[in-house]
Amino acid sequence: MEHRKKQGERIKNQHQTVEEEEEEEEEEEEEEEEEEEEQEEEEQEEEEEEEEEEEQEEEQELERTSSSSSSRSSSSSSSSSSSSSSSSSSGGGGGGGSGSSSSSSSSSSSSSSSSSRLEVGGIGNQ
């Protein structure tokens, strides 16, 4: 009789430990899923930050190219207006002008700002 009682308790204990193990496994799986979701969110945030940095770098590069081409073209306009005999330097400036047209094709706003700089630069050089 006592043997059956002990056997019943052992079986009961075994069922409890199995259920506890299953609960622990489920909790661990949930924690792993949460960690994976957090990692995915972090990766998305990093990708967004990288994209923003790339856009800023592209904008800065556009600003650099538009400002350098406008300075080239402003100097060529002042030299061509000062005398017609310096056609060779004006021709060299024409090369700079083609550089500004290539940068203006990338964005229309930069071409308009460079043209306004051209006028201001031309007046300042005269």
Nearest in space to 77 (alpha carbons), one of 69, 42, 5, 36: 69
The secondary structure of residue 85, as a DSSP letter, is S
Question: What is the C-alpha separation between 33 and 55, in angstroms, rounded?
Answer: 33
Q: Is residue 82 part of a domain?
A: no
Residues 6+ apart with CB under 8 A from 81: 122, 126
- The domain in which residue 96 lies consists of 89-126
Q: How many domains would you assign to the chain?
A: 2
Residue 26 has pLDDT above 50, yes or no: yes
pTM: 0.36
Q: Is residue 60 part of a domain?
A: no
Is the distance from CB of 125 to CB of 74 less than 8 angstroms? yes
Q: Would you state the pLDDT for residue 50?
A: 97
Segment 34-56 shows an average pLDDT of 97
Is the distance from CB of 92 to CB of 79 less than 8 angstroms? no
Q: Is residue 103 part of a domain?
A: yes
Q: Is residue 83 part of a domain?
A: no
Nearest in space to 62 (alpha carbons), one of 99, 106, 94, 95: 106
